[in-house]
């Protein structure tokens, strides 16, 4: 018995340490084993680089390729001490806002200077690996603390906790952010540390753990300034930690830590620059409230804004100046719009129009499918190609569908919310007999449920639909935390009950994959084999739109252009592809006139439209605002699927669709094998599903 106890003690001490070491190794392997991977710049890097005196070493293609090497601006490159001081300095002329995120960047600069000195490299060289190392260490601390919470649990539970952490929270979808200048990696690691210290306080409350909790909360608040409001709520509610111990020292530690945290978070809010608040307000109104409105002028009047600005509906704050019908940089617009509309006004508007808020919420949830933003690349060599390194959870959560199915998510949120309301009512009734641990857990779950709603609604109210997929990162993270918690609870059940729940969950997940198969026909030949087609729809003129059931080949879209009219793919489909069709079959084919979207640079050839086509990756929304996007018309016998039918076509492999990525001339869009429409370089090979219209008989 004594020997068994000693073994348990040894295991409980080794489990957290060994687990944290394995987390570190997995992170390093995902990011740096083989080709280094990270995230490319979507424009957000600029303010971080300028403020911290960093610039690109190679300034080409950084919007779609991950860049590992940069240069620091150092005042004295010959003296180590002066270089270290210079590395820590902020560019006051370009300082855009205050954030603890910059502390991480500055520390990584210092690490680079020291490493450069040791290895005899130029002191100004900056390798992003050092900022990634800091995030990895923070994640390892969180892992160590979480594993420590379970150090006296059953071996089965410890194994499940470790496996879930490695599989879900070390997934490349999360880790790719570490190799970037986005605020999301600090948000992610500080949230994990917040949860870790919260668990440890529940188990063994102490002042050092409380201090760790509030430090993590401050970094979480400053990682993304949209987190400030929720962080203030958490800091206020966290004062209730005083119930965990009755000694004076602990309670003073909690109160002092909470007050200092609140003061610093308020300091972050006060220093938010006007331009950032103005830009997000613009997005929330013109790419949110008025974007799909039946009467944008009425909406603006309700917000107290002149209805003449309704022409801006559907625009965003970062377009070229000549794309706006009104000068949004003028003092008059500032006085008429920015000085009148606040985030509170936007929130009030949605409260008065709950149906519209509901619609925006559905849209936001659909955009939470991917962990990493699907609009930025992660390879150093191939634009917009995704890594397969340790991406099991990224792919599985997309395949499961229910984590981002709007109706299911909202139903689950409501169920959890009503359950917690019931628990709080019960707690109030029995508060005298409740243990401190149970009270603490009820408070913690209340904060979690509140966080779920805040993280769902805040991106809509604060930024509209602009870059919504990226802004749903925290929401996605919270959903994954709930799923991880569910798995751990499931593992703790009796074997028979656990199997029943697992089977029920699997059957439920299968419901989201049920689909009615489309009718098929055989028509034409390719390489001596008959071609099978799906009947997608019947057109108004009586013709049938057919799309090949499988990909008929895999090839690049073109050698250098995303223009469908001049593409090599179009030429192949309307010549070689048709070469084996009989004369009778060729007569059946009806020449089809399709809307062809144009890039911003090609807008001079447009036959209609007043803006570039906005990017959206969900099939049912991919055609959003397509009627008013730059376009012309092209006639073809054979073409590829257009955006207007994406929601009606089954997913078979990954195949090209007829729409350029309108921000440049060398990327085109494709249906990914997971059912979402992404974009990639036209030189990359994707599948080809041919489309034709034929006479019904």
Domain boundary among 116, 133, 150: 133
In this prediction, residue 373 carries a pLDDT of 85
User: Got the DSSP string for 374-413?
Assistant: TTS---SSSTT----TT-HHHHHHHHH-GGG-HHHHHHHH
Instruction: Name residue 444's beta-bridge partners.
Output: none
Sign of the Cα pseudo-torsion (128, 133, 138, 140, in order): positive
Residue at 555 is within a domain: yes
Evaluate whether residue 230 is within a structural domain: no
Closest to 239 measured CA to CA, from 211, 262, 258: 258
- pTM value is 0.90
Please check whether residue 174 lies inside any domain of the structure. no
End-to-end CA distance of the chain: 84
Domain presence at residue 17:
no
Spatial contact of 580 and 527, defined as CB atoms under 8 Å apart = yes
Q: How far is the CA of 490 from the CAs of 157, 169, 487, in angstroms?
A: 10, 18, 5
* Residue ranges in the chain whose pLDDT is less than 50: 1-3
Position 163 scores a pLDDT of 94
Boundary residue ending a domain (133, 160, 179): 133
DSSP code per residue over 504-567: HHHHHHHHTT--PPPPEEEEEEETTEEEEEEEEEE-TTS-EEEEESS-SEEE-S-SS---TTT-
Do 150 and 164 contact (CB within 8 A), yes or no? no
Structure tokens at 41: 């710049």
The alpha carbon of residue 554 and the mean position of all alpha carbons in its chain are separated, in whole angstroms, by 29
Q: Is residue 657 part of a domain?
A: yes
Count of domains for the chain? 2
| Cβ contact 70:55 at 8 Å | yes
Q: CA 130 to CA 107: how far, in whole Å?
A: 9
Which backbone phi and psi does 39 adopt, to 5 degrees?
A: -115, 140
Q: 673 is in which domain, residue-wise?
A: 520-694
Q: In what side-by-side order are the strands of the sheet with 125-127? A: 54-56, 69-72, 125-127
> What are the φ and ψ backbone dihedral angles of 341, each rounded to 5 degrees?
-105, 130
Is 299:349 a contact under the CB 8 Å cutoff?
Answer: yes
In this predicted structure, what is the pLDDT of residue 308?
92
Domain final residue pick, 133, 168, 195: 133
Residue 427 burial (CB count, 10 A): 16
> Do residues 207 and 249 touch, judged by C-beta distance below 8 A?
yes
Closest by alpha carbon to 572, among 589, 591, 552? 552
- Does 468 map to a domain? no
Encoding tokens for residue 577?
């592809």
In-domain check, residue 313: no
pLDDT at 380: 82
Q: What per-residue confidence (pLDDT) applies to 71?
A: 93
DSSP 168-213: IITSHHHHGGGSSS-SHHHHHHHHHHHHHHHHHHHHS--HHHHHHH
- How far apart CA 443 and CA 437 sit, in angstroms, is 10
- Res 7: pLDDT: 59
Helix then strand count (H, E) for the chain reads 24, 15
């Amino acid at each position: 018995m004594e020997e068994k106890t000693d073994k348990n003690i040894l295991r409980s001490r080794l489990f957290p340490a060994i687990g944290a070491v394995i987390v570190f190794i997995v992170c390093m392997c995902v990011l740096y084993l083989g080709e280094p991977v990270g995230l490319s710049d979507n424009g957000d890097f600029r303010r971080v680089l300028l403020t911290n005196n960093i610039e690109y070493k190679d300034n080409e293609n950084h919007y779609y390729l991950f860049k590992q090497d940069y240069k620091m601006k150092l005042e004295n490159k010959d003296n180590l001490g002066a270089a270290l001081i210079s590395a820590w300095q902020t560019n006051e002329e370009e300082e855009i806002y205050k954030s603890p995120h910059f502390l991480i960047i500055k520390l990584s600069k210092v690490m680079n200077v020291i490493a450069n000195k040791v290895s005899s490299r130029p002191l100004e060289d900056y390798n992003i690996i050092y900022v990634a190392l800091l995030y990895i260490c923070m994640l390892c601390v969180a892992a160590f603390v979480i594993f420590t919470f379970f150090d006296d649990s059953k071996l089965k539970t410890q194994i499940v906790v470790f496996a879930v952490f490695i599989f879900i929270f070390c997934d490349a979808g999360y880790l790719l952010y570490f190799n970037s200048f986005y605020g999301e990696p600090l948000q992610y690691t500080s949230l994990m540390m917040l949860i870790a210290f919260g668990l440890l306080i529940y188990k063994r409350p102490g002042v050092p753990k409380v201090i760790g909790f509030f430090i993590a909360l401050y970094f979480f608040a400053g990682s993304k300034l949209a987190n400030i409001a929720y962080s203030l709520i958490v800091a206020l509610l966290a004062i209730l930690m005083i119930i965990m111990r009755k000694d004076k020292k602990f309670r003073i530690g909690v109160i002092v830590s909470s007050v200092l945290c609140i003061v610093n978070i308020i300091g972050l809010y006060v220093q938010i620059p006007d331009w950032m608040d103005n830009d997000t307000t613009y997005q929330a109104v013109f790419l949110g409230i008025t974007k799909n409105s039946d009467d944008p002028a009425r909406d603006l009047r309700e917000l107290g804004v002149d209805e003449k600005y309704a022409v801006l509906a559907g625009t965003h704050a970062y377009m070229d100046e000549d794309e706006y019908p009104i000068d949004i940089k003028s003092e008059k617009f500032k006085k008429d719009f920015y000085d009148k509309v606040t985030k509170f006004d936007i929130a009030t508007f949605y409260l008065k129009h709950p149906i519209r808020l509901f619609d925006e919420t559905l849209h936001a949830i659909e955009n939470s499918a991917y962990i990493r933003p699907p609009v930025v690349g992660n390879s150093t060599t191939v634009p917009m190609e995704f890594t397969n390194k340790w991406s099991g959870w990224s792919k599985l959560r997309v395949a499961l569908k229910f984590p981002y199915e709007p109706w299911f998510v909202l139903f689950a949120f409501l169920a959890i919310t009503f359950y917690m309301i019931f628990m709080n009512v019960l707690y109030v009734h029995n508060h005298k007999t409740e243990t401190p641990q149970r009270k603490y857990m009820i408070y913690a779950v209340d904060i979690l449920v509140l966080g779920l709603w805040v993280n769902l609604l805040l991106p809509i109210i604060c930024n509209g639909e602009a870059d919504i997929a990226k802004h749903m990162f925290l929401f996605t993270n919270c959903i994954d935390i709930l799923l991880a918690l569910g798995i751990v609870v499931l593992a703790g059940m009796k074997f028979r009950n656990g199997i029943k729940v697992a089977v029920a969950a699997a059957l439920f997940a299968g419901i989201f994959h049920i689909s009615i198969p489309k009718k098929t026909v055989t028509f034409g030949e390719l390489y001596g084999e008959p071609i099978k087609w799906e009947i997608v729809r019947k057109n108004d003129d009586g013709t049938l739109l057919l799309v090949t059931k499988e990909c008929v080949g895999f090839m690049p879209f073109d050698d250098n252009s995303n223009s469908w009219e001049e593409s090599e793919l179009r030429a192949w489909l309307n010549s070689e592809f048709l070469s084996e069709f009989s004369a009778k079959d060729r007569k059946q084919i009806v020449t089809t006139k399709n809307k062809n979207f144009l890039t911003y640079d090609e807008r001079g050839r447009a036959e209609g439209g007043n803006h570039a086509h906005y990017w959206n990756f969900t099939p049912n929304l991919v055609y959003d605002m397509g009627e008013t996007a730059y376009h012309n018309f092209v006639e073809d016998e054979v073409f590829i699927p257009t955006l207007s039918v994406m929601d009606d076509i089954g997913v078979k492999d990954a195949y090209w669709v007829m729409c350029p990525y309108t921000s440049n001339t060398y990327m085109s869009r494709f249906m990914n094998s997971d059912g979402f429409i992404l974009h990639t370089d036209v030189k990359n090979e994707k599948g080809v599903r041919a489309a034709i219209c034929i006479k019904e008989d």
